[in-house]
Amino acid sequence: MLTAVVAARGEPIRSLPFYPYPQAFLGEEDDLVALFREVGRRGAFILQEDGRRFEDNLARFLGARHALGVANATDGLLLALRAAGVRPGDEVIFSSHTMVATAAAIHFCGAVPVPVECGEDHLIDPDAAAAAITPRTTALLPTQLNGRTADMAELGRLADRHGLMIVEDAAQALGSRFRGQCAGTFGAAAAISFYPAKLLGCLGDGGAVITNDAGIAARVGEGRDHGRSATGEVVGWGLNSRLDNLQAAILDYRLQRYGAVVERRRTLARAYRATLSAVAEVLLPPGPAHDPDHFDVFQNYEIEAERRDDLREALRAQGIGTLLPWGGRAVHQWEALGLQRVLPVTEKLFARVLLLPMHPWLTTDDVEYVGQAIRNFYGGRR
Ligand SMILES: *Cc1c(COP(=O)(O)O)cnc(C)c1O
């Protein structure tokens, strides 16, 4: 018997990768292969029935009028901004604690990305957004980060007061709600991502644009398909940014089972709270029952931790994979992008922030193992 490698408690070391990518296939292998055969035998590859069915089901799930499959959420944000009427030279405000893709979409729209601070829940700080508004500002682009929806009542009032559009980066927030309303349905338009490790992932890249506006939906439909209208006429410049029909078939299959995924993630968040809430050195995200205004779906479990880098190393030694969000820097901190801001709150946060494992194949017992490792690191059997 080989039991040379043991954790601090004398328990065998577990292997808990941050995200177990093969599981995204192995867990449903037979059904996925059957789907592949079935779609392949029909030769239904681009803009076919499976895609339309998925778009209808997704729109119904969100309580939105229109959902349009696109190649990825980054393209989706670009198409949404353009279709909503953001023009070259406009300023668009976003939280610097987001993926670089949020800012890239603004940039490729010809507009100016204006990064601002995040608040205590790590989402855009409405006061910071208000302070960044200039006569050239035309839109707010809040990121619904880590599966949580921002206070859209406050952002909505701000947008109304200044005549701004809202376009949501809901890449991480499928099914997340604020006051009962789903992320992605608050503004002019929104984008959702189906990257494999996202809440609803496919086996490659994929995304969707969500909107209640028929004009925006039509323009995104053209923009993703070479500028062609439904009748095939070229009505403007467009991209090739369509969601593959095979991926759409996989996503539609998974959307039917999505409720269980959300429940699992919320259960794991509850388990993290139970095992870590007494540790003074870490700050946890709001719990699933923290505030009736928010229904969080926990795309990620993002904590703040004292001596973060040492903790990360100690967890690695116990077989636990963690991640620094966005490679360890907020968008404005990547010098190559030339955004040149000082955002002290965000910069301080990025020296403390850490993503713990959070995915549907994790068990509450695994969470207890992670919690024990963190408690041991800070030196107590609390
Ligand atoms: C993943 C992600 C994106 C980009 O999504 P893609 O589908 O990979 O283009 C944008 N914004 C946020 C917040 C994300 O997490």
Is the C-beta atom of 74 inside 6 A of ligand 1?
yes
Residue with tokens 């993002």: 302
Q: Which of 19, 72, 74 to mutate to test the pocket of ligand 1 (most atoms within 8 A of CB)?
A: 74
Is the C-beta atom of 73 inside 6 A of ligand 1?
yes
Element holding 55 (H helix, E strand): helix 49-62
Q: Report the side by side order of strands in the sheet with 189-193.
A: 66-70, 207-211, 189-193, 165-169, 137-140, 91-95, 112-116
Q: Residue 13: what pLDDT? A: 93
Asked if 190 contacts 42 with a C-beta cutoff of 8 angstroms, the reply is: no
Give, in degrees to the nearest 5, the angle at Cα 15 between 11 and 21: 160
Q: Which of 141, 146, 169 to mutate to test the pocket of ligand 1 (most atoms within 8 A of CB)?
A: 169
pLDDT band at 5 (very low <50, low <70, confident <90, very high): low
Q: Residue 7: what pLDDT? A: 58
Is the C-beta atom of 158 inside 6 A of ligand 1?
no
Choose the weakest-confidence range: 10-19, 74-83, 212-221. Answer: 10-19
Is the C-beta atom of 94 inside 6 A of ligand 1?
no
Q: How far is the CA of 344 from the centre of ligand 1 (A)?
A: 24
E strand segments, 257-307: 282-283, 294-295, 301-305
Q: Mean pLDDT in the chain? A: 96
Give, in degrees to the nearest 5, the angle at Cα 267 between 328 and 150: 55
**Does the pLDDT at position 2 exceed 90?**
no
Q: 137 in helix, strand or coil?
A: strand
Q: How far is the CA of 10 from the centre of ligand 1 (A)?
A: 40
**Does the pLDDT at position 380 exceed 70?**
no
Q: What is the largest CA-CA distance in the chain?
A: 71
pLDDT band at 290 (very low <50, low <70, confident <90, very high): confident
User: For 313-344, b where at least 16 C-beta lie within 10 A, e where not — what string?
Assistant: ebbeebbbbbbebbeebbbbbeeeeebebebe
Q: Could you give the CA distance from residue 131 to residue 111 in angstroms, rounded to a whole number? A: 19
Q: How far is the CA of 273 from the centre of ligand 1 (A)?
A: 27
Q: How far is the CA of 2 from the centre of ligand 1 (A)?
A: 42
Q: How far is the CA of 15 from the centre of ligand 1 (A)?
A: 27
pLDDT band at 9 (very low <50, low <70, confident <90, very high): low
**Does the pLDDT at position 6 exceed 80?**
no
Convert the pLDDT of each residue in 201-238 to its tens digit: 999 999 999 999 999 999 999 999 999 999 999 999 99
Element holding 377 (H helix, E strand): helix 364-377
Q: How far is the CA of 321 from the centre of ligand 1 (A)?
A: 21
Q: Residue 382: what pLDDT? A: 45
Q: Residue 11: what pLDDT? A: 78
Percent of the chain with pLDDT over 90: 95
Question: What integer is the mean pLDDT of 101-130?
Answer: 98
Convert the pLDDT of each residue in 153-208 to its tens digit: 999 999 999 999 999 999 999 999 999 999 999 999 999 999 999 999 999 999 99
Q: For the chain, which domains are there?
A: 3-22+259-377 (3.90.1150.10), 29-255 (3.40.640.10)
Q: How far is the CA of 37 from the centre of ligand 1 (A)?
A: 29
Convert the pLDDT of each residue in 256-277 to its tens digit: 999 999 999 999 999 999 999 9
Percent of the chain with pLDDT over 70: 97
Convert the pLDDT of each residue in 136-159 to its tens digit: 999 999 999 999 999 999 999 999
| pTM of the shown model | 0.96
Q: 244 in helix, strand or coil?
A: strand
Structure token digits, residue 234: 């070229």
Asked if 195 contacts 201 with a C-beta cutoff of 8 angstroms, the reply is: yes
Question: What integer is the mean pLDDT of 280-309?
Answer: 97
Q: Could you give the CA distance from residue 149 to residue 182 in angstroms, rounded to a whole number? A: 8
Q: Give the phi and the psi of residue 133 in degrees, each rounded to 5.
A: -70, 135
Question: What integer is the mean pLDDT of 286-297?
Answer: 95
pLDDT band at 1 (very low <50, low <70, confident <90, very high): very low
Q: Which of 72, 193, 243, 355 to mutate to test the pocket of ligand 1 (most atoms within 8 A of CB)?
A: 193
Convert the pLDDT of each residue in 303-348 to its tens digit: 999 999 999 999 999 999 999 999 999 999 999 999 989 999 999 9
Q: How far is the CA of 207 from the centre of ligand 1 (A)?
A: 9
Is the C-beta atom of 102 inside 6 A of ligand 1?
yes
What CA dihedral angle connects 322, 150, 297 and 195, to 10 degrees? -60
**Does the pLDDT at position 3 exceed 70?**
no
